[in-house]
Every structure is written in C-alpha cells, then in structure tokens.
Amino acid sequence: MPREGCIMHIMAATLQILGGLALFMYSISLLSDTMKRVASLRMKSILEKATTSPLRGLLAGTIVTFLVQSSSVTVLLLLGLVNAGIMKLRQAIYVILGSEIGTTITAQIVAFKVTMFFFPLIVAGFVLRTVFADKEKIRNCGEVLFCLGLLFLAMKIMADGARPFKELPLLMEAISQFGTFPLLGMLIGTLFTAITSSSSATTSLIIAMSMEGVVDLPSGIALLIGANIGTCVLELIAMIGTNVAAKRTGLAQFLINLLGALMIYPLLSPFTDFISHTADDLPRQLANAHTFFNVALAFILLPFAGALIFVLGKIIRDKDEEVPETASALDEKMLNIPALALYRAEEEVKKMAALTQEMLKMAKIAFFTGDREAGKTVHRYEKTIDQMNSQLNSYLGRINTLLLSQRDGNTKKALIHSLTDI
C-alpha cells in the first residue's frame, strides 16, 4: 500500500476508534441516567445502610456505582454527603472501596462477545420505550436494553477500528513496551482517563483493542492500573471549596488507588501469570484483572480505614469552619443523583415548616404580651426562613425532572407548592 494510502487508512481507523469511544461514553451516560431514575428510591436506602458496618458500606458502594455507572459520580455524591455532615469520613471510605469494585462490572459486561446481538437489543429497546411510553417500568426496561445495545455496538466499532493497527510493527512494539515498562503504561492509562474523566471508557477501549490482539495482557494490566488513578482527577477538582471532611473524602480515593498501584507494582509478573489462567480469551482476562485487583485492594484496605483517616488528617489539617446549615445540606454535588437531592430538599422543607411554626408561636407571644425579645426572635426567624426559601427554590429548580421517576417528579412539584404556601 502507498505511504499516503497507509496514512489515510490509519487516520480513518483512528477516527473510527474515537467515534466508537464517543458512542460508548454516550451510551454509558444514557444508561446511567436511566438507572438513576429506575433505582432512585433504592439508592437512598442503600446509602443509609452503608453507615451500619464496613461490609455494608463496601456493598453499598459496589451497588450504587453499578447503578450510576461511574465511580466518579459515587465519590462526588459522597463529597456532598460528607460536606453536609450526613455521612462520616470513615463511612465514606468504605463506600469508596466498594465503588472501586462496582466500576469493574462494566468491564465484565463489555468483555462478552455479543457482536451478533447488539442490533436485536437496540431494536427491542427502541420498540419497548416507544410503544410502551406511557408505562414507566416497561419503558425503563426498554431504555436499558437500548443503551446496552449501543454499548455493545460501540465496542464492535472500536474493535474493528483497532484491527489495522496490527499491520504496524512499530506501533505494536510501542504498545508492548507498556508491559515491559509498566510505569509507562500506568502513566498513559492515568493521562488518558484524566482526559476522558471515565475509567470505564478507558477500560472498555483497552478491552476492545485486545479483541483484535492490539493490546497484550501485560500492557493491558498496566494501562488498567493507570486508569484507576486517572479517574480521581475529577474528584480532586470537585473537592475545592468544600469543608475539611469533604476534602479528605476526595483525597481518599486518590490515595486508595495510588496505594493499590504501589502494592501491585512489584507483584505484576505473578499477578499477570495468575490472570492468564482465569480465562481463555484475552478480553475476559483483562476484565478479570480489573476485577481481581480492585476486589483485593478493597478487602486489603478495609481494616485500615482508621490508618487512612490518620494519614488524611496529617495531609489536610483541621481548621475552624462555619458552614451555613442549609447551604451545606443542599450540596450541589448531590444533584448528580436527582432523587437523593430531592430527598435532601424535602428534609430542608420540613425544617423550614417547623421553623415557621415556631416563628408563629413567638409572634403570638410578642403580640399579646409585648415581649421585645420574642419580637427580635421573630425577625431573626423570618430572615432565616426567607433565606431558606430562596435557597430551596433555586435548588429544586436545578434538580433535573427528566431523571426523576414519575413519583419523584410529583414530589418535586408538591415541594415547590409547599414553599409557596409556607
């Protein structure tokens, strides 16, 4: 093939991979939105149970991350909960460890060879979400099938796009160096994931390229470990402007993944050999490597949550902070899961109603007895209630109704009317 033709061929293949990656990230986003809407009521109870024991916290992190299809969204939610004082740092660490496991489920799903079934999934999903648009449960099932079909189609596009790279000896040699020099592979995985803000996207791209033999097992494992670190960048940025406990929560995920990389580095050779015996095909081996690594990391660090909190305390020192109660409770990061944001808003509306009742009692005392202190209290309460009303109206307006179930959507409307009445 002429040099110009070869360059055009490689450019076309690269664009195909990027197009497949874009479709994958879009399908993951759609699936995440659907799962948030479907499982909104369950996520609240799951996170409430996370506070009862380390293992339940681990399980909660796994389930919530699978539902929202993003460990970053889970950690951003935790930043909001810790910032609001709803969850303690130790409990958040248990959930973070679970989120590391939850993010591996996507890799296990995309490692299946279902290239013949993505069109039936897309068609079935489209029919269900269109024909049964007025039946919420069936429509949601259709949307899940539709998203899965798009996800598998994206994997096929990326795998087909990677095929021409096998004809480039220099590129194949360069990729193999990621396994020979794991630190280089980890660095590339970290940088790529930091750019895409999605470890699932990086992992799926690695698995797709392995389907065509472009990425081998040692190189793939190094890239996967790097992807674990790169996914923390968004959380490190998001913790700016939060309180000390929330900053420590954001830093905790980075330290956990960094410790994991440091622990596995001297054991990469035996770990790779072990993984090679877990499955016959390379994509499944890489998915297993991702799962085994994160499960092992979670259970190894679970008993050392206290030590991790001590280290975080040394890095981010305590300082006196004054955070307005309502502003803290209505943390913007909880908007990532609208149903939970709605629950927090509902709790604040109840507080506002109780404060209004108390204000009316004090107003009655001030009116009939002429008590000046009671009058001052009324003015103070009125100012607080006005502030809460403004914050709650703004917060409720920013909750995405499209990502709420029909029941939660009605609750949002009722809360807005309640604010007007109060």
DSSP-derived secondary structure for 203-238: HHHHHHHHHTTSS-HHHHHHHHHHHHHHTTHHHHHH
CB 202 within 8 A of CB 227: yes
Gap between the Cα atoms of 393 and 399, Å rounded: 10
Q: Answer yes or no: do 297 and 342 share one domain.
A: no
CB 389 within 8 A of CB 422: yes
> Which pLDDT score is estimated for 218?
94
Number of structural domains, the chain? 2
Following CA atoms 284, 289, 292, 296 in sequence, which dihedral angle do they give, to the nearest 10 degrees? -170
pTM of the predicted model as reported, rounded to 2 decimal places: 0.77
Q: Answer yes or no: do 219 and 350 share one domain.
A: no
> Which pLDDT score is estimated for 4?
56
Gap between the Cα atoms of 33 and 68, Å rounded: 7
CB atoms within 10 A of CB 115: 14
Q: Answer yes or no: do 333 and 298 share one domain.
A: no
Q: Answer yes or no: do 288 and 372 share one domain.
A: no
Q: What is the pLDDT along the chain (422 residues), one digit of tens a residue?
A: 455 556 777 788 889 999 999 998 898 888 888 877 776 656 766 776 666 788 888 998 898 888 887 787 788 778 877 876 778 889 899 999 999 999 999 889 888 876 667 888 899 999 998 888 888 788 888 988 998 899 889 988 998 888 888 777 777 888 888 888 999 999 999 999 988 888 888 998 999 889 888 899 999 999 999 999 998 887 788 777 677 887 888 899 999 999 999 999 999 999 999 999 999 999 999 999 999 999 999 999 999 999 999 999 889 887 644 444 444 567 777 787 787 788 888 888 888 988 898 888 888 887 778 777 888 888 888 888 888 888 898 888 888 887 777 788 888 888 888 888 77
Residue type at position 240: I
Q: Answer yes or no: do 210 and 349 share one domain.
A: no
Is 282 part of any domain?
Answer: yes
Q: Answer yes or no: do 241 and 332 share one domain.
A: no
Final residue before a domain boundary, out of 315, 347, 381: 315
Q: Answer yes or no: do 152 and 216 share one domain.
A: yes
Residue 87: CB partners within 8 Å, gap ≥ 6? Answer: 47, 50, 51, 78, 81, 95
> Which pLDDT score is estimated for 114?
65
Is 320 part of any domain?
Answer: no
Residue 185 CB-half CA count within 13 A: 26
> Which pLDDT score is estimated for 302?
92
Q: Answer yes or no: do 298 and 350 share one domain.
A: no
The CA-atom distances, in angstroms, between 363 and each of 310, 357, 360, 366, 382 are 49, 10, 5, 5, 10
Q: Which residue has the tokens 């949002």?
A: 412
Helices 268-276, 217-230: axis angle to 10 degrees equals 120
CB 196 within 8 A of CB 159: no
Structure tokens at 345: 């808003």
Is 415 part of any domain?
Answer: yes
Structure tokens at 31: 């699936």
The CA-atom distances, in angstroms, between 186 and each of 75, 225, 246, 297, 318 are 22, 6, 27, 17, 33
Burial label for 138, CB within 10 Å (0-12, 13-18, 19+), is middle
Q: Answer yes or no: do 62 and 99 share one domain.
A: yes
Is 359 part of any domain?
Answer: yes
> Which pLDDT score is estimated for 250?
84
| 235-238: long-range contacts, CB 8 A cutoff, minimum separation 24 | 235/72, 235/75, 235/76, 235/79, 238/76, 238/79, 238/333
Gap between the Cα atoms of 97 and 94, Å rounded: 5
Exposure pattern of 145-170 as b/e (b: 16+ CB <10 Å)? bbbbbbbbbbbbbbbbbbebbeeeee
Helix (H, G, I), strand (E, B), or coil: what is residue 53? coil
Residue 91: CB partners within 8 Å, gap ≥ 6? Answer: 50, 51, 57
CB 104 within 8 A of CB 287: yes
Q: Answer yes or no: do 366 and 298 share one domain.
A: no
Q: Answer yes or no: do 88 and 225 share one domain.
A: yes
Burial label for 400, CB within 10 Å (0-12, 13-18, 19+), is middle
CB atoms within 10 A of CB 133: 11
Q: Answer yes or no: do 152 and 221 share one domain.
A: yes
Domain with 397 in it: 325-421
Final residue before a domain boundary, out of 268, 293, 315: 315
Final residue before a domain boundary, out of 264, 286, 315: 315
Is 358 part of any domain?
Answer: yes
